[in-house]
Structure 1
Amino acid sequence: MPNALGVPSPDKVEYMADAASLGRDYKHQMLVSLDLKPGHTVLDVGCGPGTDLPVMADAVTTSGRVIGIDVDPRMVAAAGSFLNFYPQVDVRQGDAHALPVDDGTADRARMDRALQHVEDPAQVLAELHRALKPGGLLRIAEPDWDALLVDGDLEMNRRFNRFVCADMVRNSTIGRELPRLARDAGFEVENVTAATTVLRDFARADYTLALSRNTERAIRAGAIERADGERWLAELREGDFLASVTIFLLAARKPL
């Protein structure tokens, strides 16, 4: 469906599910790092269409709870499809700035590529701190869009990144900021690692990274000349394509 600029955009639920499929390796790292046990309560803040709810539900078993929270009613409806199969899953519509849970509800909490979109990351981290029990674990995965690498015309890659960071993603460099923000919110930072996904297929990368869509937006905004943008995309389509995106993984703990 075209947006206000007339630039076609994918269905949001389908797009979120597809984007999740590219992150299997780092998602597995997050799951292992959460150290989920039977009986645990885990929050999935910004759960989207619920892609990751079943694996957490299996880990906590029916003696635990998985609480998925998303601000978008379409995502909540999609995630709700898992409720018939996992009685331990609870999906709630809510704002990450004011989580719909009591103080000290959760043993574990996670956010996966959702903090980049919120209005106030510091407030969201404060809410996660409130919602966790003392000693509770927090795991967050966030990209750094200024570090998007696309082989080819280096200056066009940089111009594309500048536009995306300035105009398209609210907190575009949140990945590199995670440890500082977590410490400011009162967490003990245990570890920070990075996972890089390399894409070799232009069509798949174009869909997931919005290369064509955001280049057109940049052209219409005057950030990229049309001739330059169209030439760059044509070269990417026809060449030996390679792009990479880096996800930072934060492991933190609420002090006892």
Structure 2
Amino acid sequence: MSMLRFDESGARSTERTYASPDVAAQRREVLSLLAPRPGERVLDVGSGPGYLLASIAEAVGPTGAAHGLDPSPAMNALATARTDGMPWVHIDDGDAVALPYPDGAFDAAASIQVYEYVADIAGALSELRRVLRPGGRSLILDTDADSLVWHTADQELHRRVLAAWEEHLVHPRLPRTLAGLLRRAGFQVTEQRVYAMFNAQLAPDAFSTRYMDTIARFVVGRQGLREADAAAWLADLRARSDEGDYLFSINRYVFLATAT
């Protein structure tokens, strides 16, 4: 397994993707479900470029505290710039399996597209439970790789590309077991729902437009795929758009849980 790189270039690319209307809509849904309130202490595990963290900070206000945690210095630099002028925001360098906070430090926590990359998922969820107060809320969103639907003409090449793309994940099908993992870590799962990201057109600002480029860069040299194979895969998707039969969909699974 080889992770995606979140150096300065990778962080900037992620920031542009997170600015897309599709991801912004997902972020609004997450914020509505987490429902941070003025004065609360809220943690964002894997805060990345800081879009969600900034929204959390606005919700809790200066009487609260918003903490973002990410292992990437480049991501943390973007998040710091995005939350400039909010002294109640704290951005920390750290890992999900060893949260640098005392027991019961937070009223609520969110983690978006993070735990699918964490090898010790049980340990990470135990850490999340530890830093939440009893009754504290958590929201976790992750993707099942098998939920991806993309209309292509060359199905065999598409299968090979997606198989290589899975190498960037530790748990490509985490949502199937996440409810049980949360319960064993000391949470009561209060709600599970699916959030579908759907593109019927290959628009310049669509999530799938940037997603396909990220995938194409990653898969070259993996499972026998060459640059020519990645280029052919991209051309296939663009041809579907040109012919008016483009379709992309992927499911994100949302878990709401309370610390017992």
Question: Matched residues in 2 for 1:82 and 1:236: separation?
Answer: 34
Map of 2:210 onto structure 1: 207
Residues 226 and 13 of structure 1: CA distance in aligned 2, closer, same or farther (over 3 Å): closer
Question: Matched residues in 2 for 1:216 and 1:25: separation?
Answer: 31
Q: Any idea what SS the aligned residue of 2:220 has?
A: helix
Map of 1:15 onto structure 2: 13
Map of 2:191 onto structure 1: 191
Question: Matched residues in 2 for 1:51 and 1:73: separation?
Answer: 16
Structure 2: tracts of 5 or more residues without a match: none
Map of 2:151 onto structure 1: 151
TM-score, normalising length: structure 2 = 0.84
Residues 155 and 202 of structure 1: CA distance in aligned 2, closer, same or farther (over 3 Å): farther
Structure 1: tracts of 5 or more residues without a match: none
The equivalences for 1:1-256 within 5 A come to: 11-21=9-19, 22-152=22-152, 153-165=154-166, 167-199=167-199, 200-201=201-202, 205-209=208-212, 210-218=214-222, 221-222=223-224, 224=225, 230-240=231-241, 241-255=246-260
Q: Any idea what SS the aligned residue of 1:39 has?
A: coil
Residues 20 and 178 of structure 1: CA distance in aligned 2, closer, same or farther (over 3 Å): farther
User: What RMSD in Å do the two structures reach over aligned CA positions?
Assistant: 2.4
More deviation, 80-89/91-100: 80-89
Residues 225 and 48 of structure 1: CA distance in aligned 2, closer, same or farther (over 3 Å): closer
Question: Matched residues in 2 for 1:146 and 1:10: separation?
Answer: 30
What code does the residue aligned with 2:162 have?
N
Residues 13 and 100 of structure 1: CA distance in aligned 2, closer, same or farther (over 3 Å): same
Q: Kindly state the Cα deviation for residue 176 of structure 1 after the two structures are TM-superposed.
A: 2.8
Query: 1:169-190, CA deviations, whole angstroms, 9 ceiling, x for partnerless residues?
Result: 2222223332122112111111
Question: Matched residues in 2 for 1:229 and 1:198: separation?
Answer: 22
